[in-house]
Chains A and B, each alone.
Chain A
Amino acid sequence: MLDQVLNILDRIPKIPIANPVSDFTDWIEETFSFFFEPVKEHFGPFLEDVSGLLQQIPPLIVMIIVAVLAFFLTGKRFGLATFSVIGLIFIYNQELWPQLMDTFTLVVVSSFFAVIIGIPVGIVMSKSNIVQNMVTPILDLMQTMPAFVYLIPTAAFFSIGMLPGVFASLIFAMPPTIRLTNLGIRQVSVELVEASEAFGSTFYQRLFKVELPMAKKTIMAGINQTVMLSLSMVVIASMIGAPGLGREVIRSLQRADVGTGFVAGMGIVILAIIIDRFTQNLNRQKGENA
């Protein structure tokens, strides 16, 4: 008797979720193939071209450009410039330069799209509580879902290579930009919003002349996180064939080759630090420098 009661949970049949999700993915793949096919056809090669182009530039020139940018971006200080050059020389020296360029292309492209999509979504979210309540749980899901899970459908949609890597990291990296754009705009002080309203601003004047400039710092912090997340995802995306430094890591994992893995890992760390410091320094506002 007692056994029957305790086993009551087992009597509920397993709710079929996995299969419908798979079916749904298949359905998306078929139904939207008119979208996926051209993207695969044109955008995939485009990515390879960009990376190829970057690899054409002599590494020394790249290093000089990075150093000069770092020097001016940090307010004419040598710290970041020096670190960047030494780091890049190390990567070149370890014969990881082409991989670096691949990874860099993936990060830049996926962050670019994450920001382009994320900021408008964040703005809409900040203007409507209903939208905010709808989008927030989706963002939570996007961020807590193990990153590997994204690889499966994107591989199905875009086969393997750079393209699915971009899409997987786009989805994984977008939430911080959305969240912080929303937060930044909602944090603009009531008085400033009232001031812009009281002088007769239109919706867009208020948005572009007051709210976005006020939220800029917060939004930039979100973009910084997006870039870092997309870097981490680009590494994971190597599992579905995305080229770059991540592929070296996975290859050495498969061969239990600690040394190679460490070197490639160092390359990722160096790239991460350079990108992070660059985006953080972009985030300095006019008033503060004066």
Chain B
Amino acid sequence: MPVIKVEKLTKVFGKRPKEALKLLEEGYSKDEILKKTGNTVGVNRATFEVNEGEIFVIMGLSGSGKSTLIRLINRLIEPTSGNIFVDGKNLSKMSKEELRQIRREKLSMVFQRFALFPFRTVLENAEYGLEIQGMDKEERKKKAKDALELVGLGGYIDQYPSQLSGGMQQRVGLARALANDPEVLLMDEAFSALDPLIRKEMQDELLDLQERMKKTILFITHDLDEALRIGDRIALMKDGSIVQIGTPEEILVNPANEYVEKFVEDVDRSKVLTAEHIMKRPETINIEKHGPGVALERMREEGLSSIYVVDRQRNLKGYITADAALDAKKKGIKDLTEILSTDVPQVSLDTSMQEIFNLIHDSPVPVAVVEGGKLRGIIIRGSVIAALAGSEVNLENA
């Protein structure tokens, strides 16, 4: 069961939300509605689910409504229409009191500019969520300390936020959210205010923490690289609507529309694409049936200088080059085993393009993609370059 389920969640800013809502249903665009009613559509009928233990990233440029969306989920902004379910309970129908309980127990938030209380020490900041629940002093101190240890700030508990660097301040923000032991972490551009090196460090740390804690995380960002790095699934937003939801690969490889395509254009694809995406169907010969003659013939047909050799079960045996096959034919050798080269450059289906790139550079033959001993495909230099250039990605294998 999904931890968070959002159904047709809509926010209209302005004085006549009902009218705008009706126009939305009729299919008018955000701009048209603004012109007609003077109302701004913040979020337009967003629907998605976040599963337990998943990092779900909502990505979009500024003004796309992503920050509004995350605030609708814990009702820091009241939705105009639509439903939000957390653990099956409908937040959008809750009283203030029930909502407060959910906020205390289930949802914690981490903010872009940290939002630490400057007059409280690091420890007191981390205690905040527990303090307002009325937990007694010793217990909340202990829990807050544990959370601070977890983010590596055990030694700074008596400092004030202003004495810490940006990265450390956001760790305090994270510890404050974790101290409550919530089921869901809402992270609003949590790392965007940090400089790139620290940002990367924090991303790694979040992934580490996630390994151990298995929280459900809803993460907002405007940075596609960040989204691809940490997201299990990504939702792309534009003008208040969700344009596409999918795994990082699905979004890169199969952009739903021109907008997404444009968005992913500049991404460093070598980090995301794997062997599976760029491999081709291999030409092979069967070691149990064929001899050097067939091998030569097939290489001539396909214009190859070498060919992979498999057995009946498509287990990879090695490869033979055209030179070796010609030599064998002249000498009258029938058995391919004698001329077989076995120093095959191998990768598996999920090897990243970056690694393949290094491997293929030094290899005289195409790289073999092997899974469980079986040959699944080959990768030639041309397809690596084509994939890096952003075209000709082979979907039939993926």
Contacts and interface: CB of A to CB of B under 8 A. Distances in A.
Given A191-B113, A199-B103, A209-B132, A290 B160 contact: yes
A195 B109 contact: yes
Interface residues of A, number: 22
A287 B113 CA distance: 19
A209 B124 CA distance: 11
Name the residue in A192, A197, A200, A201 with the highest tally of chain B Cβ atoms < 10 Å from its Cβ: A200
B111 A195 contact: yes
A195 B129 CA distance: 10
Question: Which of A189, A191, A195, A286 is the most central at the interface, judged by chain B CB atoms within 10 Å of its CB?
Answer: A195
Contact of A199 (B118, B129, B162, B163): B129
Nearest to A190: B115
Q: How large is the interface on B (under 10, 10 to 19, 20 to 34, 35 or more residues)?
A: 20 to 34
Nearest to A214: B119
Contact of B76 (A192, A198, A214, A290): A198
Interface string A185-207: 00001011011111111100100
A199 B108 CA distance: 6
Nearest to A203: B96
B113 A199 contact: no
Contacts of A94: none
Interface of A: 189, 191-192, 194-202, 205, 209-210, 213-214, 216, 285-287, 290
Given A199-B180, A200-B103, A192 B132 contact: no
A200 B132 CA distance: 8
A258 to B, nearest CB: 50
Interface in B302-328: none
A208 to B, nearest CB: 10
Given A192-B115, A205-B132, A286-B119, A200 B160 contact: no
Contacts, number: 70
Contact of B101 (A191, A194, A200, A209): A200
Interface in B83-140: 100-104, 107-109, 111-113, 115-119, 128-129, 131-133
Contacts of B101: 200
B44 interface: no
Given A196-B132, A197-B103, A214-B119, 4 more contacts: A199-B104, A200-B102, A200-B104, A202-B100
30 contacts: A191-B112, A192-B115, A194-B111, A195-B111, A195-B128, A197-B103, A198-B76, A198-B103, A198-B186, A199-B108, A199-B128, A199-B132, A199-B180, A200-B101, A200-B102, A200-B104, A200-B133, A201-B100, A202-B132, A205-B132, A209-B128, A209-B131, A210-B117, A213-B117, A214-B118, A216-B119, A286-B119, A286-B160, A287-B118, A290-B160
The 8 closest A-B pairs by CB, nearest first: A200-B104, A200-B103, A195-B115, A191-B115, A198-B109, A199-B129, A287-B160, A200-B100
Contact of B119 (A197, A205, A285): A285
